[in-house]
Amino acid sequence: MKFFVDEDLSPALVSECHKAGYDATCSRDRDKLGVGDRAVAEFCMEEDRILVTNNASDFLALADEAGLHPGLVVMPLATRSEECAWMIAVIRSIEEEAKTASQGPAAMMTNRLVEIDDACNCYHYDYP
C-alpha cells in the first residue's frame, strides 16, 4: 500500500506508515500545501496512493466522480499522538480485512473507504 497524508492531518503519520512497512508521503513533503482537493485526488490516483484525510465530504464526491480510486481513509482531527495511534489501527484493520478476503491490502482498498472514529473503531465500506 502507498499512502498520501492530506495537509489537515499530522505529517507524522508518514513515519507510522513507514514503520508498518508501507510507502507514504504527505502534502508538506510533496509541495502540495494549499493545493485544491481535485489536484490532490488526481495526484493520489496517478500514484495509486490511498488518501488519508479528515476532509471526507469533498474527497468522497471526487472519488464518486472518478469511479475508480485507490482508497480513502478518513479520521477525525486530534493530537499528533492520537492520529498516529489511529493510523496504526487503520493499517492493522486493512491488513486484517485483506487477509480475510484473501487479497493483498492495496488490492482490497481499491474503491474502499475506511473510517476510524475517536474510539479507535474502524469501519470499512465499498465506495462508490
Cα–Cα distance, 55 to 79 (Å, whole number): 16
Sketch out the chain's domains with CATH numbers: 2-126 (3.40.50)
pLDDT per residue as tens, the chain (128 positions): 999 999 999 999 999 999 999 999 999 999 999 999 999 999 999 999 999 999 888 888 888 888 899 999 999 999 999 999 999 999 999 999 999 999 999 999 999 999 999 999 999 999 98
The runs of H, that is alpha helices, within 10-125 are 13-19, 37-46, 56-66, 80-100, 105-109
CB atoms near residue 83 (< 10 Å) = 21
pLDDT given at position 62: 85
Give 108's contacts (C-beta < 8 A, 6+ positions apart): 94, 97, 98, 101
How does DSSP classify residue 29? Answer: T
